[in-house]
Amino acid sequence: NEIKIFSPATVANVSCGFDVLGFCLDSVGDDMVIRKTDKKGVFITKIVGFDLPYETELNVAGVSALAMYNAIDVDFGFEIEIYKNIKPGSGIGSSAASAVGSVFGMNELLGRPFNKTELTAFAIKGEAIASKCEHADNLAPALFGGFTLVKSINPVQILEIPSPSDLYATIIHPQIEIKTSESRAVLPKEVALSDAITQWANVGSLVHALHTNDYNLLKDSLHDVIVEPHRSKLIPHYNDVKQASLQAGALGCGISGSGPSIFSLSKGLETANNIKEAINNVYAKTGIEFDIHVSKIN
């Protein structure tokens, strides 16, 4: 009647794949407890770590849970406890972890009536209240694991993309908050055709590189000519971090989701740790608090 789950952090966009690509981290995430109750409805009963709303309709985990609850017919309810480790507004899928965790846990307690694609559709409703728009590029890797591509959100269609076994991510999280809704507001409504061509060529080649374990092509594809020029201005010392990371051997470096976190991809744990040290040296001088994680892509 109760399940404890780990809901992982994720990196969305992955440079060229705005709103489409994402991958799952194995070292950071939230813990949640979902419990059946006699009382009908969905109730958030405990939140530890950050100050988030208890009202079900205002809470990301509550909204996705309600979307699922309204699609089933049961004579009991659910309680949700959230032990939040992923700071909201950090750019590594904090809202997605909440949105996914509640529906994943409920589905387990119900005997898995829904598949992961259906769970994504419920979770989109929760994610939407955090970012003021519907997207699934953090939800999909949190639910499916590994690398994913959101082919469409209406209807939900998620592609699981294989990735090389020694691919690592180094993530620096400067302790400033950037709300997804705000960092979406700085983006242009229209893009130049020449930029669009570059961007979709990179998305295609990145996916091909992941399928073929082609690290050279991966390195050549991790570029973003549409979103990064606008959003990087919101992140202090972004260019210094990127430069240090590439010098330390990163395949690519970009904004994690809507920022302020910055991710670097690398081949092998040793390079990932070298990047950690290089970007640590950059940020240690800034006076801004930060933390850095190294994670396998899983």
Residues in touch with ligand HSE (CB under 6 A): 12-13, 18-19, 131, 135, 137-138, 180, 184, 257-258
Of the pair 186, 284, the CB lying nearest ligand HSE is at: 186
Q: How far is the CB of 4 from ligand HSE (least distance, A)?
A: 26
Query: How many other CB atoms are there within 10 angstroms of residue 216's CB atom?
Result: 9
For CA atoms 160, 162, 168, 169, the dihedral sign is negative
- Set 10, 56, 180, 271: catalytic member: 180
Structure tokens at 245: 């990371």
- Set 10, 56, 81, 127: catalytic member: 127
Q: How far is the CB of 169 from ligand HSE (least distance, A)?
A: 16
Of the pair 20, 272, the CB lying nearest ligand HSE is at: 20
The CA distance from 101 to 126, in Å, is: 11
Q: How far is the CB of 136 from ligand HSE (least distance, A)?
A: 9
Q: How far is the CB of 184 from ligand HSE (least distance, A)?
A: 5
Q: How far is the CB of 228 from ligand HSE (least distance, A)?
A: 11
- Tokens 């399928």 sit on residue: 211
Of the pair 73, 190, the CB lying nearest ligand HSE is at: 190
Give yes or no: 212 in active site.
no
Q: Are strands 147-153 and 167-174 parallel, antiparallel or unpaired?
A: unpaired
Of the pair 81, 137, the CB lying nearest ligand HSE is at: 137
The CA distance from 54 to 47, in Å, is: 8
Query: In this structure, are residues 18 and 263 in contact, taking their beta carbons and an 8 Å threshold?
Result: no
Query: In this structure, are residues 132 and 258 in contact, taking their beta carbons and an 8 Å threshold?
Result: no
The CA distance from 77 to 80, in Å, is: 10
Of the pair 135, 237, the CB lying nearest ligand HSE is at: 135
The CA distance from 201 to 245, in Å, is: 24
For CA atoms 137, 142, 147, 150, the dihedral sign is negative
E strand or H helix that includes residue 6: strand 2-12
The CA distance from 175 to 50, in Å, is: 14
Of the pair 15, 245, the CB lying nearest ligand HSE is at: 15
Beta bridge partners of 23: 11, 147
Give yes or no: 177 in active site.
no
The CA distance from 62 to 102, in Å, is: 7
130 phi and psi angles, rounded to 5 deg: -80, -40
- Catalytic sites, residue numbers: 127, 180
